[in-house]
């Protein structure tokens, strides 16, 4: 396939591109440069809503991973607007280009997040569950709406709602230093569910969706193993052969991170990958232990 990818330099994109190329796909990276004439690159400017539809024309698929990291910097009005604009501008630009292409791609895969469900305690959630409350839920909703504008008789749209991506960087990378020192542990009560997915399965799920034309709409990109925060900490400590009993009280997390703590660390989302399971996807790392060991090459 000929696949257009935005956000290719991020945590997911840097793992996905080699995976796609190893499978024989031709990959074109969208880059914010004046020319984009390097091999395998094409220029665009999402902040100005600028992308030549000719770049999209004739492609088999577009994969949108664009967006500022949700966990960088304490949230305030400025950061929240950057989180929104970095997602909505890029997604709207891609959707418009898909709609304007003479030969539109058959698929748009758009990154989203389990933050769509908000804080739901022990409620079991699948792709048919209602939206939750809060900033991340509203952001995910608007992000997905922007992507769905590309849907047509020619183009299907898949919305991948990612859990915590277990990779060498990202959330795991931030957790690694304190856990190596034996200072890791559960956050708040530790009873909140943390949906997660190994980076190899992120690539695997995307490849699976590329090849299964019946899959469209929301897709929970999370592993089937349900993990609470305390279990996550315990497993991480076990893999590193370090204790993991140093708790961070909820008030301390809120003091350090503000609203972000409630949305990312203290919220509970018991999310099931129903679409993937029903479609026959076989997880490469169905257990957190194996995903962490693979990510850290242990």
* Token pair 């232990």 in the structure block, residue: 289
Q: Which positions ≥6 away from 161 have C-beta within 8 Å?
A: 112, 113, 114, 116, 127, 140, 218, 219, 220, 221, 222, 271
Q: What is the CATH number of the domain that holds 91?
A: 3.40.50.720
- The structure's pTM equals 0.95
Look at strands 2-6 and 196-198 and give their pairing: unpaired
Question: Which sign, positive or negative, has the C-alpha torsion 52, 55, 60, 61?
Answer: negative
Q: Domain total for the chain?
A: 1
**pLDDT at 153 (0 to 100):** 94
* In contact, 61 and 158? CB cutoff 8 Å: no
- The b/e string for 148-157 (b: 16+ C-beta within 10 A; e otherwise) is bbbbeeebbb
Q: Which positions ≥6 away from 222 have C-beta within 8 Å?
A: 114, 161, 162, 163, 195, 196, 197, 271, 272, 273
**pLDDT at 35 (0 to 100):** 60
Task: Tell me which residue of 43, 55, 136 sits closest to 96, measured CA to CA.
Answer: 55
**pLDDT at 73 (0 to 100):** 79
- Estimate to the nearest angstrom the gap between the alpha carbon of 259 and the chain centroid: 20
Give, as one character, the DSSP assignment of residue 131: P
**pLDDT at 20 (0 to 100):** 96
* In contact, 112 and 90? CB cutoff 8 Å: no
What is the pLDDT tens value at each position of the chain, 298 positions in all?
A: 999 999 999 999 999 999 999 999 999 999 987 665 678 999 999 999 999 999 999 999 999 999 999 988 789 999 999 999 999 999 999 999 999 999 999 999 999 999 999 999 999 999 999 999 999 999 999 999 999 999 999 999 999 999 999 999 888 998 999 999 999 999 999 999 999 999 999 999 999 999 999 999 999 999 999 999 999 999 999 999 999 989 999 999 999 899 999 999 999 999 999 999 999 999 999 999 999 999 999 8
C-beta pairs of 20-23 under 8 Å, 24+ apart in sequence: 20/203, 20/206, 20/207, 23/207
How large is the greatest C-alpha to C-alpha distance in the chain, in angstroms? 58
Question: Which sign, positive or negative, has the C-alpha torsion 116, 118, 124, 129?
Answer: negative
End-to-end CA distance of the chain: 33
Q: Which positions ≥6 away from 289 have C-beta within 8 Å?
A: 235, 238, 239
**pLDDT at 38 (0 to 100):** 78
Strands, E, within 121-255: which ranges?
Answer: 124-125, 156-162, 164-166, 196-198, 217-221
The DSSP element (H or E) to which 271 belongs, if any, is strand 270-271
* In contact, 209 and 215? CB cutoff 8 Å: yes
**Domain hosting residue 74, numbered range:** 2-295
CA-to-CA separations, 118 to 17, 147, 172, 185, 273, in angstroms, rounded: 30, 20, 21, 23, 17
């Amino acid at each position: 396939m000929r696949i257009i990818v935005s956000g290719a330099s991020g945590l997911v994109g840097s793992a996905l591109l080699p995976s796609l190329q190893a499978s024989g796909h031709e990959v074109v990276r969208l880059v914010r440069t004046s020319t984009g004439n390097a091999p395998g690159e094409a220029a665009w400017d999402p902040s100005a809503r600028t992308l030549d539809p000719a770049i999209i024309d004739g492609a088999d698929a577009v994969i949108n991973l664009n967006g500022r990291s949700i966990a960088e910097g304490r949230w305030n009005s400025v950061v929240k607007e950057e989180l929104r604009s970095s997602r909505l501008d890029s997604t709207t630009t891609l959707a418009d280009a898909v709609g304007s292409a003479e030969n539109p791609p058959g698929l748009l895969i758009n990154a989203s997040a389990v933050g769509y469900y908000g804080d739901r305690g022990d409620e079991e959630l699948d792709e048919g569950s209602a939206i939750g409350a809060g900033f991340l839920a509203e952001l995910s909703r608007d992000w997905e709406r922007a992507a769905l504008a590309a849907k047509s008789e020619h183009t299907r749209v898949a919305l991948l709602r990612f859990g915590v991506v277990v990779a060498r960087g990202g959330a795991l990378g931030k957790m690694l230093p304190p856990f190596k020192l034996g200072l890791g542990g559960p956050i708040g009560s530790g009873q909140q569910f943390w949906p997660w997915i190994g980076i190899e399965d992120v690539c695997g799920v995307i490849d699976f969706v590329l090849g299964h034309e019946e899959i469209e709409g929301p897709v929970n990109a999370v592993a089937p193993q349900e993990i609470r925060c305390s279990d996550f900490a315990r497993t991480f400590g076990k893999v590193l052969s370090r204790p993991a009993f140093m708790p961070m009280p909820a008030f301390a997390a809120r003091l350090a991170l503000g609203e972000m703590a409630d949305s990312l660390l203290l919220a509970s989302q018991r999310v099931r990958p129903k679409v993937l399971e029903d479609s026959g996807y076989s997880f490469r790392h169905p257990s957190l232990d194996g995903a962490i060991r693979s990510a850290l090459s242990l």
